[in-house]
């Protein structure tokens, strides 16, 4: 299955289903080689950004915003290579969405307040000087309050 097919499919689905597909795709692309906790943290950042509204009104808008998440950065001809990792990403996405629908006080947050993450061994973003919330696997999660994007 190619990334371009998944994004095309998302454009035809009802928004709630499209958002699940976009979130699962992002978890797969960003964190398929990370622990379940790391995958959940990636999903949480995308959901927090959607709730914030500065990056888009839907999860699909958030994760396809230019240069924000892997769906906008990797080659659209990329093929998903592991069915097992894809299934895990789907499971993580659904669980994250269920958790995020709870009242804020009842949510189980992995990276409270984190709006950004990076694999600092690969990228050195300008906002890396903001407070780090956690490091899980290869990703460090940051609370970046003052950037509009």
- Is 133 inside any structural domain? no
pLDDT at 9: 93
- Is 9 inside any structural domain? yes
d(CA 103, CA 64): 26
pLDDT at 111: 98
3-class state of residue 139 by DSSP: strand
- Both tokens of 104, joined, read 């804020």
Give the pLDDT means over successive 10-residue stretches in the chain (149 positions): 91 96 97 97 98 94 94 91 96 98 96 95 90 96 76
pLDDT at 121: 87
Range of the domain at 78: 3-109
- Is 84 inside any structural domain? yes
Are 31 and 139 in contact by the 8 Å Cβ rule? The answer is: yes
pLDDT at 145: 82
- Is 141 inside any structural domain? no
- Is 146 inside any structural domain? no
pLDDT at 148: 46
**How many domains does the chain divide into?**
1
Task: Enter the pTM of the model.
Answer: 0.93
Are 39 and 89 in contact by the 8 Å Cβ rule? The answer is: yes
- Is 51 inside any structural domain? yes
- Is 36 inside any structural domain? yes
pLDDT at 147: 59
- Is 149 inside any structural domain? no
Are 103 and 79 in contact by the 8 Å Cβ rule? The answer is: no
**% helix, strand, coil for the chain, step of 5:** 50, 10, 40
């Amino acid at each position: 299955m190619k990334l371009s097919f998944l994004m095309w499919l998302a454009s035809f689905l009802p928004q709630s289903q499209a958002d699940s597909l976009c979130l699962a795709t992002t978890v797969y692309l960003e964190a398929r080689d990370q622990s379940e906790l790391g995958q959940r943290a990636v999903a949480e950042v995308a959901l927090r950004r959607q709730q914030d509204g500065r990056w888009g009104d839907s999860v699909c808008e958030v994760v396809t915003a230019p240069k924000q998440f892997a769906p906008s950065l990797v080659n659209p001809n990329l093929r998903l290579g592991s069915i097992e990792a894809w299934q895990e990403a789907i499971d993580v996405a659904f669980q994250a969405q269920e958790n995020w629908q709870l009242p804020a006080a009842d949510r189980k947050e992995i990276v409270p307040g984190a709006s950004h993450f990076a694999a600092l061994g690969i990228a050195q973003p300008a906002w890396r000087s903001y407070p780090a919330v956690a490091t899980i696997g290869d990703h460090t999660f940051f609370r970046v309050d003052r950037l509009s994007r």
